[in-house]
Structure 1
């Protein structure tokens, strides 16, 4: 049992936990819709505003950086542990919806970039509190529950590529629709009650995030998470460009559209990976599952580096395997933190971990085109593989610590 949890409530006495998981997962996907809105209509924005490559990249990175700033502030203020999660999610979703709507009148990349950063900051009030809220509904089976949450988010991440492949819609309609979805998601989340395994209230301690992250157990879990994040978002951000080149090199017609459909499949298959990762994490132990997933994911990156000139079906098959394992471990890092961090500051710990991870993604996303220009896609994939391989080593170290006895009901 986790320290600070209510000891008298049994798993069987938590009716409605699957309903709560379903509603909160739907709420998070809807509330996070503004994150992906500009990506879905970026070609249209480039044409409408005459965006350069640098300005277009800024619109993508601004959300990541805004999320980092919002997460850092939230962690410093212990918001996720001092404010009920459903209220934070509602506030974040409504703010994100408003900032997203601002794109309709932005008129250019400067104001649009600031609005995208504000959108990311607002969404830092949605994602970490949602993970904490769901942890309060599950004690056993928590890895599966959070895996479903991240899997739903993964599927949402894939949808813009499907939109692009189908030809998209008017960009103003997309922006308006995603804003309405975010507000709806916040409303759904506000109706999800607190679970029976709720965490104790926290006092305001701005330095607590640093203390938690530098502790041995959470520190090693965070190092593993950083190795995972080094690879993940860079692969998601650049796979479409890579596969467009694969198809174009074979002289296939409309390679961009084919790459959009392929990217939807490669990213979307990760939703299944998240569920499988949750099941295996609960049954095998989270340190074992995360290390295995990162070794397989890093191995796929290295294999793809050697096979970039292979036939497109072979490249796609290997990429689908990569897309499955690259995200299969993601929710398990958050689950570990919920099991071994100070119960009063689980929300702060989750938020701080996410802030570090998304900070790293901005660097790896920016590094990929530099590596491609220097040595092609083989060099880029090789460098991306370094992260998960180092992350797997951190998780094996965590498995040997006393904290491992509190992970996955003692399975480590």
Structure 2
């Protein structure tokens, strides 16, 4: 079995990433039924989503401080994280609506995801280093589909208990961890022994080119997860204007988020000829333009706005794997895992205020709340411009 998996390492890793990251937005996918049954508000959705993000940040910082991302086999960390993530995600079924225990379990889910996402990136680089941009595009594409998957599961289980999609996500995460463990660690990165201090994880930030790329990633992250959090609300607004029920919300939310996987893969193909920075810059331009114009176009027919959301879904994440590829190429090779973990920690840290602001102000501002995301793409483009003199 191991030999067969090692013949196709990239498909194995990206499939495992799809399964593992289904834990990320598992609550968002069942939110309509969960909120209706337990009388929860949009602010509770923001609280639980923020808890996952905070846990992920804490986990990535812990990986960087301890050097675990570079000291131990990535496949083993991935397996343990998937197992624990599956358990705490399933445990949410028992404490849903019980504050603060529900937030604590979602925080723990985020901790476990820190051992899935950055370690998945490291494994892709370790197995397929030649075309990192294209390979990471598949990985982030699976992260995107994993994020959208709970919405699909919810759409497929309408009328059934909301607990079922959550438990299904836990089962998928466990399967993903086992796949990666059987695959094993890749051969193309050196193993680091000994405890790595935080300064090692931060060492890449002293490299101007890495700082420029990281700044682009930070601007991208300000927009990305807040947009994904708002997607069901934006879809719901348009369906309400069409006098349609809520049954289509999970299906359309899956489409808007999941179509980003096509953006990742398409961007990865372009990066092989045009370069990762070219792709990242254009994706930021497109998503930033839609972000700026969307509220002013909110009077257009709902079908037009849903189509625009699909375009936004493609562009908003197409740059993510290219930023990771650029960062991996400029970070110190012996500590690429820790460097990526630090970049992830800061980037996801920026998602906290973005999600808090947009979800908290949705009731007051409605669709105009998306203007709060515009500074992200602007800053990202500015940062990339500063590092233009570096090589791609």
Common fold: TM-score over 0.5 = yes
Contact in 2 for aligned 1:21/1:145 (Cα 8 Å): yes
Q: Which residue of 1 aligns with 2:267?
A: 277
Q: Which residue of 2 aligns with 1:72?
A: 61
SS in 2 for 1:178: helix
Task: Give the deviation of 1:227 after TM superposition.
Answer: 0.6
Greater shift, 133-142 or 50-59, is seen at 50-59
Change (3 A) 1:272 1:195: same
Cα deviation 1:114-140 (Å, max 9, x = unaligned): 111111101101110110011012232
Is residue 2:230 matched to residue 1:238? yes
SS in 2 for 1:44: helix
Cα deviation 1:83-135 (Å, max 9, x = unaligned): 11001101111111121222233262321211111111011011101100110
SS in 2 for 1:272: helix
Contact in 2 for aligned 1:29/1:153 (Cα 8 Å): yes
Contact in 1 for aligned 2:56/2:111 (Cα 8 Å): yes
Is residue 2:52 matched to residue 1:63? yes
Q: Which residue of 1 aligns with 2:177?
A: 186
Q: Which residue of 1 aligns with 2:335?
A: 345
Cα deviation 1:294-328 (Å, max 9, x = unaligned): 01110121221220110012112222111111111
Aligned residues: 386
Task: Give the deviation of 1:17 after TM superposition.
Answer: 7.0
Is residue 2:195 matched to residue 1:204? yes
Q: Which residue of 1 aligns with 2:207?
A: 215
Greater shift, 202-211 or 127-136, is seen at 202-211
Cα deviation 1:32-62 (Å, max 9, x = unaligned): 2222322222333334444344334322221
When the two structures are superposed, what TM-score results if normalisation uses the length of structure 1? 0.88
Question: Which segments of 5 or more consecutive residues in structure 1 lack a partner in the other structure?
Answer: 1-14, 405-411
Is residue 2:326 matched to residue 1:336? yes
Alpha-carbon separation, structure 2, partners of 1:163 and 1:176: 11
When the two structures are superposed, what TM-score results if normalisation uses the length of structure 2? 0.92
Which residue, 283, 295, 306 being the options, matches 2:285?
Answer: 295
Q: Which residue of 1 aligns with 2:145?
A: 155
Contact in 2 for aligned 1:62/1:116 (Cα 8 Å): yes
Contact in 1 for aligned 2:56/2:112 (Cα 8 Å): yes
Contact in 2 for aligned 1:290/1:329 (Cα 8 Å): yes
Is residue 2:10 matched to residue 1:21? yes
Alpha-carbon separation, structure 2, partners of 1:104 and 1:381: 32
Alpha-carbon separation, structure 1, partners of 2:5 and 2:137: 18
Contact in 2 for aligned 1:32/1:182 (Cα 8 Å): yes
Greater shift, 221-230 or 382-391, is seen at 382-391
Alpha-carbon separation, structure 1, partners of 2:124 and 2:360: 39
SS in 2 for 1:399: coil
SS in 1 for 2:25: helix
Contact in 1 for aligned 2:140/2:320 (Cα 8 Å): yes
Cα deviation 1:8-40 (Å, max 9, x = unaligned): xxxxxxx98771011111112212222232222
Alpha-carbon separation, structure 1, partners of 2:286 and 2:292: 10
Alpha-carbon separation, structure 2, partners of 1:52 and 1:145: 39
Question: Which segments of 5 or more consecutive residues in structure 2 lack a partner in the other structure?
Answer: none
Alpha-carbon separation, structure 1, partners of 2:181 and 2:291: 40
Task: Give the deviation of 1:205 after TM superposition.
Answer: 2.5
Is residue 2:69 matched to residue 1:100? no
Which residue, 146, 150, 157 being the options, matches 2:136?
Answer: 146
SS in 2 for 1:240: helix
Greater shift, 341-350 or 110-119, is seen at 110-119
Task: Give the deviation of 1:222 after TM superposition.
Answer: 1.0
Cα deviation 1:252-287 (Å, max 9, x = unaligned): 221x33343322221111110000111122221122
Q: CA RMSD in A?
A: 2.1
Alpha-carbon separation, structure 2, partners of 1:241 and 1:282: 36
Change (3 A) 1:399 1:170: same
